[in-house]
Structure 1
Amino acid sequence: MKGYKVYILKSQSIVISRDVVFHEGIFPFHSINTSEVSIDFFPDICLPRGSSISSPDSSAQFDVFRIPSRMQDTEPTVGVGVPIEPVIETVTDPVHEPIPELPTKGVMQNVEPVVVPDLVHDRVSSNFAEPVAELVNNHVLPANVKPVVEHVSLDDSLHVHGSSIEPEPRRSTRVAKKPSYLHQYYCNVASSSCSYPIEHQIVSSSVSPSHATFLANLCSTSEPFFYHQAVRLPEWRAAMQDELRAMEMLQTWSVVSIPPGKQPIDCKWVYRIKHNSDGTIDRYKARLVAKGFTQVEGIDYTDTFSPVAKMTSFKVLLSLAAVHGWHLLQLDVNNAFLNGTLDEEVYMKLPLGYETTVQGNDLVCKLQKSIYGLKQASRQWFQTFHAVVLQFGFVQSPSEHSLFIKGCGDDLVALLVYVDDVVIAGKHLDSLLAVQNFLKSHFKLKELGPLKYFPGFEVSRQPDGISLCQRHYALQLLEETGSLGKKPAALPIVANHKLSIHDGELLPDPQVYRRLVGRLLYLTHTRPDITCVVHQLSQFVSTPRLPHLNAAHHLLSYIKKAPGLGLFFHSKANLQLSCFVDSDYSACPDTRRSITGFCTYLGTNLISWKSKKQHTMSRSTCEAEYRAMASATCELVWLAALLSSFHIDTSPVFLYCDNQAALHLASNQVFHERSKHIEVDCHFVREKLNSGFLKLFHIRSQGQLADIFTKALHLPSFSAFLLKMGLIDVHPSPS
């Protein structure tokens, strides 16, 4: 119940109030009259048609206008001992007419203050005196008429006591308003508030003002997903026209009628906002992308392989840049894929918004150059870029084909290419600018200045090192999944919780789960703390169930706790390559296979980690640990070769394990009942150990950092491992 409708005589308005007291022992129409004046408390109230008021004693028709018989009538007085004769008016007009107002002149000039006694029975509370006083006070009396309310004893008969005057009751100062349904229009919107706003988790007070401005500009823009969204905005319409104009100038296609037997592929628009180094918008980029997944091998394409920079290589480059104090510059190649030529005959449908003057039926675009989205486009572009870079004296790294090195020592210049984004690192800025000018003479480049935003990664240069995180990407993920208002979680998954392929109901739309897991996989490049959970979630993308989706949403709550958590590469770290390896024996509840987990450091900088289920079932913890050591050794061999491209020697490499049996098995050529069935490739560890490349160390389980990649830990252990791994949040929350 909202309240009672109350009519206020003074303001002539109707309000709804819960603060209502019903005085059933007092009738408001019982007037106090004198022989010379009739006091009407309700001058605007009209009586029903045809009704009349007569003396209460002469007619029983209007008994309802009398005070109940339980309350004895007393004779009001004016002044002291002056009786007041009742004056009764009769309404005879059939039309509703108000009772005449009180006269204010003449006979009222010399009237003494009116004393209104309480009409109280022995069973009626004396509190009824207050409503009567309020009833009198609310009425507009003549200036010289002062109503006085006196209390009557409950023990004696009704009579007047003393001359004490009760103070007037306090009037409410609240402004009365009409109900919303009396307005011309109203809209009752339920007020809602978020208990855990995202603003409490994103704070930029710990970063420089320039970087805080960069982050604010980065998060203040949004990009459309579909053509019908972008075509409404003039900046995106202009961007699409620029893209089509550039393709026509480069003679990317020719408009023809499709030959018989040929099937054209479709295309779509992709929209991106390019930012300057200070975070301001550089340009709106609309890119036409072919839907290459509809191409047929042998008809539309043949070879498709193209090297792409690994994220581990990018982290190694940042770690070396922090230690050696290298400069980092970023370049963006405009329309990079248009620099490659096609060897196959490919037809594409006309893009949305494209107008042509060619006449004919079934018009399509016959591609003459590769565009984004074609299966062979990346390969054609990289071949062109590779040939140009070699002309400047760069040498391609045999361990990372997207990495090019020139010179050595302080004159070393490293170039890393990720599709059409190029990062140049080196000690001397002049050498980097020379490389930049050389590439600018062959390609249309956009100089983005110091490295701050690599695709999905935020890079922040600080005096004591370089931080790397995916804060903007994490906030976008939370916004897309509707998790900005979730309560932050302290752990990525409940401790000791394991997911099974048989638990729960199947999801009606598995695409939602698959897309979410794919987004989370990209976030693990800078978040080793969620790697183990995402590894578990990725095992159920074929048949996801409700518990798997609930676990994914719980992980989003954990990500909200610290969206800016990421890696930090210290400038004072050494270049010793070391690795921590561990396994969780028979961890999978469905296959009973063990989980391998390891993390690799370059000095104190974390550069690589992995959490993966083993391919075969292990018969003992020794075998599970030994297989994990073999996987970690493979990673160490590759990292050592990658560092050798920078002319850095890291041997011997340190490997830390908490299983004594596995260490003895690797150190000694002993075959017994527990190890004779192990495959020969696992003894790869022993070979590297004997060659001097590897050095094994035993570590206690309490200090095994790789334990976080094998199982769900409790909060104290989880927090301690995060601290030891060197993860920091450059945007810590106030809590």
Structure 2
Amino acid sequence: MLSEANLATQLWAESVNTACYTQNRSLIVKRFWRTPYELFRNRKPSIEHLHIFGCVCYILNNKDNLGKFDSKSDDGIFLGYSSIPKTYRVFNKQRQTIEETIHVHFDESGPTFPHPQDNAEINQWADSFFQVPDIPIADPTSQDLPDGFEETPLPPSQITIPPVINATPITQVTPERDQPTSSEDFSQTTVSEPTPTTTNLLPDPSLNEASTLGQVYQPPALRWTKDHPIDQVLGNPSSGVKTRRQYGNICLYVNFISENEPKEIDDALRDPAWVSAMQEELAEFIRNNVCLLVPRPRKHTIIGSKWIFMNKLDEVGTIIRNKARLVAQGYRQEEGIDYDETFAPVARLEAIRLFLAFAAHMNFKVFQMDIKNAFLNGKLNEEVYVAQPPGFVDTWYDTLSTFFLSKGFERGKIDSTSFLKKYPKHILLVQIYVDDIIFGSTNPKLCEKFELLMKTEYKMSMMGELTYFLGLQIKQSEKGIYIKPGKYVLDMLKKFDLTSCTPMKTPMAPPLSLDKDSKGKPVDVTLYRGMIGSQLYLTASRPDIMYSTCLCARYQAEPKESHLTAVKRIFRYLKGTPNLGLWYSKDSGFDLTAYSDSDFAGCKIDRKSTTGGCHLLGGKLVSWTSKKQNYVSTSTSEAEYVAAGICCAQVLWLRNQLQDYDIQLSKIPIYCDDTSAIAIANNPVLHYKTKHIEVRYHFIRDHVMNGDIELHFVPTEYQLADLFTKPQDVTRFNMLISELGMLNPDE
């Protein structure tokens, strides 16, 4: 940079600062695909103010008392950027100083860099200003001191500098460089404190024009010496000098939890926090006798292994634990040869919400515990050779379920991840999700006994009351349970750089209905799919964006600008409602009710209808759906009838799940706003106009006849499932989410 701009090497600091400033705003970090400025500031930098280093510029002269015909600007050279926003560092040729100002005009129309002769002034100024004075060396004289030090009083010596700079006389003594650096060889010297002076070098008759400079700051001479008085040395002088990198390693041990999730083992080995997590994992292998170290067999295939690193977060997004797991690379095995069919049961989100709704109804606290090594204690029936200790999810589930059954627990009839133990007047409920366990009981003492039981058998970490689970922030109170997505909404807005967007009151405005938009402008497929994926994860706790997100998800193959605009509107709605969540009241009862609805030929591409439905337990919303039907309906009644069949299937699953809680339900009401669909479901005779409907949707008739469900008519204005089939205006949208039990604690 200095060579290209024809500047002196003494200005290297200005070029380094400019290079760092530019690279921080332009150099892309491949790991994150963002600039360092974005990683630090969480926003994209502006590059409109960047200019070429060393180019010609003109500085507004607002200091001198100028006449009408005097030049209003001074010639200058651009040297970089200031720490003050919108401020530049420039060399003023008239004043012979480096200034920081915002009133600069850059001339980049002609030759960018000045001729070497034009830069003679700044180069001469740099040579004189940055000249390091030679400090005379005096030989120390030995004197008797109690600690073996020697003191030599020396007369001050005048430092020779350019004639235009006034300097304060400084006394400096430096020992010979080849002397040892032990504490016994230090010589104590008397050094007069240098006084930095600022000399105003404006035009003066006693000075010629060539020696005229601006205000120059003369740094103390001690800044350029390596040998300081012994009384000013901190620490042990014989211990050597620690570099900044060494101090960084020392400070690193203070941070016991790492914030970054390494992708490779080499990155993890550089972080003591992750090294500790891996050592804890291997220690559990030894404690549980997971594997036995044997010589490598010749006739057996060795299964590889891999480290998985993940941070465990609390309800506010704070990292509370670094988790390292060593897993076997099972994809190298062949089904039927190395293993048979395997299963890894995982709790459904409806089961988790049903668990919390029952806890709110029974008014008991829900607790959470984490098994530190859930993948270790599974018993393998085959002889397996791996590079390092293996573990499998399904074997862990078999081990844990066997333990629960041996202690008197009953497995759920529908949900195999649910376990319960019944007492004469109380009940203990346990729900597992891989290595996380939530549990609760109507008797708090039973929770304490269960905690003690688990700690005696496994290495557990009790996390107290349930506050954060599967990305859901859960707040328990005496009046009920409040569920919201927590910090995920704000993180999602930051991820897609939408933190400064304008909030909206609804996720989608009626009568918007997206189509293929074949003539529209294509957008980035990766960006669009990333936005849709983030919103789909959010629908687990935000039913208000279910329909709009699912509608936009239909166009992931070839997204256009109109589709991206609709997705961004959902983000704008989330910006205005980040704390909106589900409220499970204690005093709202526990009767199961369902709402079923459908639009007719709502999709403009294939003319298929959209099914919408929701299920409430005493006003507590536990399940909802918005999905395009599999085939084309020929009438509104047919579309409503198909939607009622899908809703009935979910009702039966919830009814069977509640049987594990000793709750027996019959004649469960399903509310529909189409009388023809209700008549078809209640009619035992198959009409000729319904013969073409697929057989799987006709099972609703059997359950109506058996008394398991009842279909009731509800006017469209009271149809709660209307939220999941079409866009709504602001008034109706707020009414629907309020009836579904969604509230904002900030309002």
Pair 1:272 & 2:327 matched: no
1:588 counterpart SS class: coil
- Which residue among 650, 656, 663 is the counterpart of 1:648? 663
Pair 1:496 & 2:551 matched: no
Structure 2 distance, partners of 1:345, 1:483, is 53
Structure 1 distance, partners of 2:527, 2:297, is 37
Deviations 1:401-440 (A, max 9, x none): 1111211574111111111111111111111111221122
For residue 431 of structure 1, what is the amino acid of its counterpart?
A: L
In the alignment, is the contact (CA less than 8 A) between 2:311 and 2:320 conserved in 1? no
Structure 2 distance, partners of 1:236, 1:410, is 47
1:441 counterpart SS class: helix
Alignment of 1:150-229 (within 5 A): 222-227=259-264
Alignment of 1:633-712 (within 5 A): 633-672=648-687, 674-712=689-727
* Alpha carbons of structure 1 residues 714 and 231: separation in structure 2 relative to 1, 3 Å: farther
Q: CA deviation at 1:607?
A: 0.8
Structure 2 distance, partners of 1:455, 1:9, is 67
In the alignment, is the contact (CA less than 8 A) between 2:363 and 2:478 conserved in 1? no
- Which residue among 412, 416, 432 is the counterpart of 2:447? 432
Note the residue ranges of structure 1 that are not aligned, 5 or more in a row.
11-19, 25-43, 46-177, 180-219, 349-364, 371-376
TM-score (normalised: structure 2):
0.62
Tell me the residue number matched to 2:357. 319
Tell me the residue number matched to 2:545. 530
Q: CA deviation at 1:441?
A: 1.8
Tell me the residue number matched to 1:332. 370
Q: Which structure carries more relative contact order (alpha carbon 8 Å, separation 6+)?
A: 1
In the alignment, is the contact (CA less than 8 A) between 2:510 and 2:729 conserved in 1? yes
Deviations 1:676-730 (A, max 9, x none): 3323433322222222221222111111110111122222222221122110123
Tell me the residue number matched to 1:594. 609
Pair 1:297 & 2:335 matched: yes
Tell me the residue number matched to 2:456. 441
Q: CA deviation at 1:475?
A: 2.5
For residue 224 of structure 1, what is the amino acid of its counterpart?
A: E
Q: CA deviation at 1:315?
A: 0.9
Deviations 1:158-217 (A, max 9, x none): xxxxxxxxxxxxxxxxxxxx99xxxxxxxxxxxxxxxxxxxxxxxxxxxxxxxxxxxxxx
- Which residue among 708, 719, 726 is the counterpart of 2:741? 726
Pair 1:616 & 2:631 matched: yes
Deviations 1:585-638 (A, max 9, x none): 111222211111000010111111111111121110000000111111111111
Structure 2 distance, partners of 1:309, 1:578, is 23
Pair 1:244 & 2:282 matched: yes
Q: CA RMSD in A?
A: 3.3
2:721 counterpart SS class: helix
Structure 2 distance, partners of 1:536, 1:21, is 69
In the alignment, is the contact (CA less than 8 A) between 1:526 and 1:567 conserved in 2? yes
1:341 counterpart SS class: coil
Structure 2 distance, partners of 1:651, 1:247, is 50
Structure 1 distance, partners of 2:424, 2:698, is 37
Q: CA deviation at 1:512?
A: 4.5
Tell me the residue number matched to 1:306. 344
1:582 counterpart SS class: strand
Tell me the residue number matched to 1:568. 583
TM-score (normalised: structure 1):
0.63
* Alpha carbons of structure 1 residues 620 and 255: separation in structure 2 relative to 1, 3 Å: farther
Structure 2 distance, partners of 1:300, 1:485, is 54
Q: CA deviation at 1:565?
A: 1.6
1:272 counterpart SS class: strand
* Alpha carbons of structure 1 residues 257 and 534: separation in structure 2 relative to 1, 3 Å: farther
In the alignment, is the contact (CA less than 8 A) between 2:259 and 2:319 conserved in 1? no
* Alpha carbons of structure 1 residues 408 and 699: separation in structure 2 relative to 1, 3 Å: farther
Tell me the residue number matched to 1:287. 325
Structure 2 distance, partners of 1:486, 1:260, is 62
Q: CA deviation at 1:241?
A: 2.9
Structure 2 distance, partners of 1:382, 1:485, is 45
Deviations 1:255-282 (A, max 9, x none): 865858947546243221355x999865
* Alpha carbons of structure 1 residues 273 and 688: separation in structure 2 relative to 1, 3 Å: closer
2:568 counterpart SS class: helix
In the alignment, is the contact (CA less than 8 A) between 1:503 and 1:547 conserved in 2? no
Deviations 1:301-335 (A, max 9, x none): 43221221111111111111111111211111111
Tell me the residue number matched to 1:123. none
In the alignment, is the contact (CA less than 8 A) between 2:581 and 2:744 conserved in 1? yes
In the alignment, is the contact (CA less than 8 A) between 1:466 and 1:570 conserved in 2? yes
In the alignment, is the contact (CA less than 8 A) between 2:311 and 2:319 conserved in 1? no
Tell me the residue number matched to 2:570. 555
- Which residue among 415, 425, 429 is the counterpart of 2:430? 415
Structure 2 distance, partners of 1:677, 1:709, is 26
In the alignment, is the contact (CA less than 8 A) between 2:304 and 2:388 conserved in 1? no
Q: CA deviation at 1:345?
A: 6.2
1:591 counterpart SS class: coil
Deviations 1:475-499 (A, max 9, x none): 3322333332332232223423333
Q: Report the more deviating stretch, 488-497 or 638-647.
A: 488-497
Alignment of 1:372-387 (within 5 A): 377-387=392-402
1:489 counterpart SS class: coil
Note the residue ranges of structure 2 that are not aligned, 5 or more in a row.
1-48, 50-56, 71-93, 96-213, 216-256
2:621 counterpart SS class: strand
